[in-house]
């Protein structure tokens, strides 16, 4: 991998690491090493890097801020693109915003609120980046990104870039086309609406207060672990089975919110997956409901 890393560095694509522990780059603080970790400086650098990786026929995956992600303990073979600061531009044009994939969703929500724009309040507690939010159609409080997204610029694995409309991205609950066709979000354009600045601020404050009281973001976690089944909530089902506090190694079902698994210190991906499987099988046995993970599980066990 060193010779490919040297080629990437000579192409001036940004930061390149060899055998980098991904525990340093995920909000769960869990994950084995990536053969190559690449953090591009801008869109052009990302395109050059993808072309080099494609030329060497290396497998790859893209991550953002590392939320909603579990990297297995043996890490990832091939390349990982970390889409972060290099793609973090943000431009408001009237009621629209054009924003880079590496931009923080929380920060974007705050910036929109300062301008008296409404439509993003649901995302005030989503800890990830814009790119990840597009990829998984992130949502909360009864809304999601598909309701405000106009289009997104996508880089496909052969180096082709294309702007896809909302319809072309084929959004549904926590899914998009990008979970079927491999590509990297580079930029998104969102349609917001004029609102009352004080009302938007009050709404954000209510959501923030609710999160602080009900979600364990003071401990390393990845956000909600399971998708909500139709007509119910995964957290309610897990709590109803008495699983709050259930622990394997360093991984524990949160005492605060049953749809969160926290890293109490030294948790491995195997610990987390064991907790996930126990919750799944328990819910299936008691309620005959199949729970599906919302977090993306990647890498080698």
Could you confirm whether 48 is annotated as catalytic?
no
pLDDT exceeds 90 at position 299? yes
What domains appear along the chain, each with residue ranges and CATH number? 2-85 (3.30.43.10), 88-200 (3.30.465.10), 216-298 (3.90.78.10)
Q: In terms of Cα–Cα distance, which of 79, 76, 143 is closest to 105? A: 143
At residue 143, the pLDDT reads 87
Q: Which helix (H) or strand (E) holds 214?
A: helix 197-214
Catalytic residue among 20, 121, 153, 294: 294
How sure is the predictor about 197, in pLDDT bands with cuts at 50, 70 and 90? Answer: confident
pLDDT exceeds 80 at position 212? no
Q: What is the pLDDT of residues 221-254, one digit of tens each?
A: 998 999 999 999 999 999 999 999 999 999 999 9
Q: What average pLDDT does the structure give for the chain?
A: 94
Q: What is the pLDDT of residues 109-167, one digit of tens each?
A: 999 999 999 999 888 878 889 999 999 998 877 889 999 999 999 999 888 899 999 99
Catalytic residue among 29, 72, 174, 187: 174
**pTM of this prediction?**
0.90
Contact 105, 65 (CB under 8 A): no
Tokens of 195: 């609102």
Q: Tokens 């920060």 label which residue?
A: 107
Q: Are strands 76-82 and 60-63 parallel, antiparallel or unpaired?
A: parallel
Residue 262 burial (C-beta neighbours within 10 Å; 0-12, 13-18, 19+) = buried
- Cα distance between residue 246 and residue 215, in whole Å: 16
Could you confirm whether 121 is annotated as catalytic?
no
Catalytic residue among 104, 129, 203, 224: 224
Q: What is the pLDDT of residues 73-102, one digit of tens each?
A: 999 999 999 998 889 999 999 999 999 999
Could you confirm whether 174 is annotated as catalytic?
yes
Q: What is the pLDDT of residues 3-57, one digit of tens each?
A: 999 999 999 999 999 999 999 999 999 999 999 999 999 999 999 999 999 999 9
């Amino acid at each position: 991998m060193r010779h490919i890393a040297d080629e990437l560095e000579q192409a001036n694509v940004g930061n390149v690491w060899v055998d980098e522990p991904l525990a340093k780059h995920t909000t769960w603080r869990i994950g084995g090493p990536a053969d190559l970790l690449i953090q591009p400086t801008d869109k052009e650098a990302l395109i050059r890097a993808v072309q080099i990786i494609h030329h060497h026929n290396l497998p790859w995956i893209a991550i953002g801020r590392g939320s909603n992600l579990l990297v297995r303990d043996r890490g990832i073979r091939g390349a990982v693109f970390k889409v972060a600061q290099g793609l973090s531009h943000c431009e408001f044009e009237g009621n629209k915003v054009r924003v880079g994939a590496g931009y923080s969703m929380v920060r974007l929500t705050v910036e929109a609120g300062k301008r008296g724009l409404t439509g993003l309040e649901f995302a005030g507690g989503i800890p990830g980046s814009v790119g990840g939010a597009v990829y998984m159609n992130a949502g909360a409080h009864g809304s999601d990104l598909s309701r405000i997204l106009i289009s997104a610029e996508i880089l496909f694995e052969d180096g082709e870039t294309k702007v896809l409309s909302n319809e072309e991205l084929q959004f549904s609950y926590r899914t998009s086309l990008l979970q079927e066709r491999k590509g990297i979000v580079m930029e998104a354009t969102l349609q917001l609406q004029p609102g009352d600045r004080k009302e938007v601020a009050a709404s954000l404050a209510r959501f923030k207060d609710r999160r602080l009281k009900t979600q364990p973001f003071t401990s390393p976690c990845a956000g909600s672990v399971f998708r909500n089944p139709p007509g119910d909530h995964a957290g309610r089902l897990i709590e109803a089975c008495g699983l709050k506090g259930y622990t394997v190694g360093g991984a524990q079902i949160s005492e605060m919110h049953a749809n969160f698994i926290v890293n109490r210190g030294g948790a491995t991906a195997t610990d987390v997956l064991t907790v996930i499987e126990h919750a799944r099988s328990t819910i299936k046995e008691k309620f005959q409901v199949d729970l599906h993970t919302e977090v993306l599980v990647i890498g080698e066990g």
